[in-house]
Amino acid sequence: MRSTKRETLPIATSADVVLARQKVRQWAIEMKFTLVDQTKLVTAASELARNALDHGKGGHMVVEAVENTARTGLKLTFEDRGPGITDIEAALRDGFTTGGGMGLGLGGSKRLVNDFHIESQPGKGTRITVVRWK
Amino acid sequence: MERIPILRMGQFLLVTIQVDMHDRLAMQLQDDLTQRISEWNSKGVLIDISTLEIVDSFIGRMLANIAAMARVLDAEAVVVGMQPAVAITLVELGMSLEGVRTALNVESGMELLYELRGDFHEEIGG
Ligand SMILES: Nc1ncnc2c1ncn2[C@@H]1O[C@H](COP(=O)(O)OP(=O)(O)O)[C@@H](O)[C@H]1O
Ligand SMILES: [Mg+2]
């Protein structure tokens, strides 16, 4: 996977979550994703940015246009230096929450993208990478 | 402070969401609507989300909360105008919006509200 363009945005306030959504929308439009695919990408970004803010004490999002031999895609990376996720399998389960949320952010955003990858170290932070291919 | 306006139309309230809401604005709307329903003794709330480009689990929960809260205050909430792409995504996200009444547009939402309250009055009338 080769990255052709990339940009980083802070996620420190709930206004940043709105900006992150708008940025992903803008890139998805530029890359000519269908309206449904745009909506899926923006919704996943909203969930993961909010998690980085609410559970991960803030961090940043990296937006990247990527390509492999066959296709192009939009890749999003959410990184924070929060408490990390001890049980990733549990956290991915629909309805699981430690914060009084709906517990749909992780499991739901996984369904909205093609590639989904979590790296997390308790006490150090979390990095979630997603790609939606065209 | 930034707020989403709530319009009063007789016994009903109308809210048109026209901005990409951040989370605190959504919480504020939920609180404001609760206030208004009880203050004005409103019988229904119409929430127009036709300009919303996404509904994530936070906004979904807000809509479900408003519907539940309205019910407790003896009012009905109807969400109208959800875009097809938003609806498709919401299902895949796993939000069912159970207990939230929906209609295609403001007009049919209003009809639904009148119908619901009409039935209610007939019931009391015996
Ligand atoms: N970036 C993160 N840092 C730490 N914990 C996280 C992070 N993202 C998710 N989690 C954990 O995973 C749980 C499930 O997340 P999610 O599915 O988004 O549901 P919700 O945010 O509604 O709780 C959270 O309650 C939290 O415990
Ligand atoms: Mg979440």
Please report the ipTM that was assigned to this predicted complex. 0.94
Residue numbers in A near B53 (CB within 8 A)? 25, 39, 42
Residue B110 belongs to some domain of the structure: yes
Atom of ligand 1 nearest to the CA of A128: 1
Residue B122 has what pLDDT?
Answer: 47
**CB spacing of A46 vs B54 below 8 angstroms:** yes
Structural domain contains residue B90? yes
Mean pLDDT of A100-122: 97
Residues 6 or more apart whose Cβ sits within 8 Å of residue B55: A43, B49, B63, B82, B86, B89, B90, B95
pLDDT score at B2: 85
> How would DSSP label each residue in A76-120?
EEEEE-SS--S-HHHHHSTT--SSSS-S-HHHHHHHHSSEEEEEE
CA B9 to CA B61: how far, in whole Å? 25
Which range has the worst mean pLDDT, A8-17, A23-32, A107-116, B110-119? Answer: B110-119
Name beta bridge partners: A76. Answer: A63, A130
What residues contact B118, with CB distance under 8 A and at least 6 apart? Answer: none
User: Domain A2-133 class?
Assistant: alpha beta
Nearest to A17 by CA among B26, B18, B1: B26
Mean pLDDT over B5-20 rounds to 94
What pLDDT shows up at residue A100?
A: 87
CB contact under 8 A, A43 and B54: yes
Classify residue B124: in a domain, yes or no: no
Q: Is A36 on the interface with B (CB under 8 A)?
A: yes
pLDDT tens figures, A70-84: 999 999 999 999 999
Does residue B34 sit within a domain? yes
Task: Tell me how far apart the alpha carbons of residues A53 and B31 are, in angstroms, rounded to a whole number.
Answer: 23
Contacts A–B by Cβ distance under 8 A: 72
Query: Does A102 sit within 8 Å of B89, measured CB to CB?
Result: no
Name the residue among B16, B64, B56 with its Cα closest to residue A21: B56
Break chain A into its structural domains and give their ranges.
Answer: 2-133
Give tens-digit pLDDT for A1-52.
999 999 999 999 999 999 999 999 999 999 999 999 999 999 999 999 999 9
Q: A36 and B93: CB-CB below 8 Å?
A: no
Mutate to test the interface with B, among A33, A47, A51, A102 (most CBs of B within 10 A): A102
The number of distinct structural domains making up chain B is 1
The residue in chain B having the minimum alpha-carbon distance to the alpha carbon of residue A95 is B94
For residue B33, give the CATH number of its domain.
Answer: 3.30.750.24
How far is Cα A68 from Cα B39, in angstroms, rounded to an integer?
A: 59
Compute the distance from residue A83 Cα to the ligand 2 centre, in Å. Answer: 15
Contact B75, B66 (CB under 8 A): no
The answer to whether the beta carbons of residues B70 and B29 sit under 8 Å apart is no
pLDDT at B126 (0 to 100): 40
Closest CA to A26 of B21, A69, A18, A49: A18
| Beta carbons of A134 and A75 less than 8 angstroms apart | no
Which of A43, A37, A42, A44 shows the shortest CA–CA distance to A23? Answer: A42
Domain that includes residue B88, residue range:
6-116
> Based on C-alpha coordinates, what's the Rg of chain A?
14
Rounded CA separation A29/B2 (Å): 29
